[in-house]
Amino acid sequence: MRRKEQMENTGKRFSKRDAWLLAAAALVILVVFVIFRQFSGGSGSTVTVTVGGEVYGTYSLDEDQKIDIKINGTVTNVLVIRDHQADMTEADCPDQLCVRQKAISKDHETIVCLPNQVVAEVSNPNGENELDDVAN
C-alpha cells in the first residue's frame, strides 16, 4: 500500500520546468549578489546615525567611543565604536534584533533598529581613501 502510494507520487514532486525556474532564480540572485559586491566592500571611515530619517550625528570610526542615542530625552539605543567597528550594544525594544546584529565597518553597511527607527550607517566621505587602500 505504502509502496504503491509512493509510486503514484513520483513525478508529482519535481519536473524539468521546476528545475529551470529554480535555476533562473538562482542565477538572478547570483547576479544581484555580484553587482552588490561590486558597489560595496570598501572600508568606511565614519558612521552616521539617523533617527526617523533625520541625521542624529556622524562619528569617526577611528576613535573608540560610546554613543548614547536619545529620543525625546531618554536613551533608546547605545552604539559603541571599537577597533574601527560600530556595534549596537543596547536597545530598549523587545526584539533586540539590532543588538544581536554583528558589528559593522564596511562602506554602506547598516544596523537598523526598526521599532525606534534608528539607523547606523557606515560611510566613506573622503572617497579617495578607498583608492589608496587599493594601491596599498
Partner 1 sequence: MSKKKNIAFMGVFLALALVCSYVESLIPFYFGIPGMKLGLTNIVIIIILYCMGTKEAYCLSVLRVILAGFLFGNMFSILYSMAGAMLSLTVMYLLKKTGKFKIVTVSTLGGICHNIGQLTVASFVVENYYVFYYLPFLLIAGFITGLLIGIGAQEISLRVKRFF
Residues 6+ apart with CB under 8 A from 70: 76
Nearer to partner 1, 15 or 65 (CB): 15
Among 32, 58, 60, 64, binds partner 1 (CB under 8 A): 32
Among 43, 46, 110, 129, binds partner 1 (CB under 8 A): 110
Here's the x/- map for partner 1, 41-70, by CB under 8 A: it reads as ---------x-xx-----------------
Among 1, 3, 4, 37, binds partner 1 (CB under 8 A): 37
For binding to partner 1 (CB under 8 A), which residues are involved? Answer: 9, 12-15, 17-18, 21-22, 25-26, 29, 32-33, 36-37, 40, 50, 52-53, 93-95, 97-98, 100-102, 108-110, 112, 114-115, 117-119, 121
